Amino acid sequence: MATYEHPYPDPALAAAHAFVPFSTERRSDEEMQRRADDFHRLMEGRRSVRMFDDTPVPRRLIETAIRTASTAPSGAHMQPWTFVAISDPAIKRRIREAAEEEERVNYLDNRMNDEWQRALAPLGTDHHKEFLEIAPWIVVLFEQRFGTNDDGSKRTHYYVKESVGLAAGMFVTAIHQMGLATLPHTPSPMAFLRTVLARPETERPFVMFPVGHPLPGVQVPDLQRKPLDEVARFLD
């Protein structure tokens, strides 16, 4: 059993703030490996989908995915994110029109340089974003640059982008785990989303996710992920 010279929390901290025991099931190395392999196989099948079925998706599934994403760790536990989920056809139409206008400038008016467009070429993306209307849901994730205390004063948020990035990844994972598909979509610039969705100036759009069932027969690029030895280093 490991021993610590400076245990956490120390008595003074525990007396001033609430702490509860952390409980988790201790599993054998073999069981942990089995669970890890099962989850890796599941996530290895994840792909970004650009053609969705228009079959309705129950709101409760989106709610659960957002709740799951909100279990992500965040700086000082500020949870500096807002998820805005849209199924209203008129609002989705406005989002599509605004996104396509920004993307038209990116692709056709050379706001994206040649190197960027060459990198995107194997994906076959362009400024047409009709999936934003067809997918039953669009979920826009906003980062809260700062918050407001009860007395109206400004509350600093820490490690905002890192925290919101973690929540975004967990949202994608939750959506894939339940059997739906999504696409992290970041038309640049995205300031129009704050206007269309009437969000306060304290928030900034981070990414939006069309969510739904993939269109039957949809194809995705035949991409290979980097092997472990290209993405990891072990110092043991």
Structural domain total, the chain: 1
Domain presence at residue 188: yes
Domain presence at residue 60: yes
- Residue 214: the pLDDT is 97
Rounded distance, CA 214 to CA 129, Å?
15
Is 32 a residue whose pLDDT tops 90?
yes
Q: What is the pLDDT of residues 88-116, one digit of tens each?
A: 999 999 999 999 999 988 888 878 888 98
Q: What is the pLDDT of residues 46-95, one digit of tens each?
A: 999 999 999 999 999 999 999 999 999 999 999 999 999 999 999 999 99
Domain presence at residue 38: no
Range of the domain at 59: 50-214
Confidence of residue 188 (pLDDT cuts 50, 70, 90): confident
- Residue 170: the pLDDT is 98
Q: Enumerate residues 6+ apart whose C-beta is below 8 A from 122.
A: 221
Domain presence at residue 43: no
Domain presence at residue 25: no
Name the 3-class secondary structure at 137: strand
CATH code of 95's domain: 3.40.109.10
Domain presence at residue 177: yes
Domain presence at residue 236: no
- Residue 80: the pLDDT is 97
Q: Enumerate residues 6+ apart whose C-beta is below 8 A from 125.
A: 50
Query: What average pLDDT does the chain have?
Result: 95
Residues constituting the chain: 236
How many of the other CB atoms lie within 10 Å of CB of 181?
25
Is 173 a residue whose pLDDT tops 90?
yes
Q: What is the pLDDT of residues 124-133, one digit of tens each?
A: 888 899 999 9
Domain presence at residue 64: yes
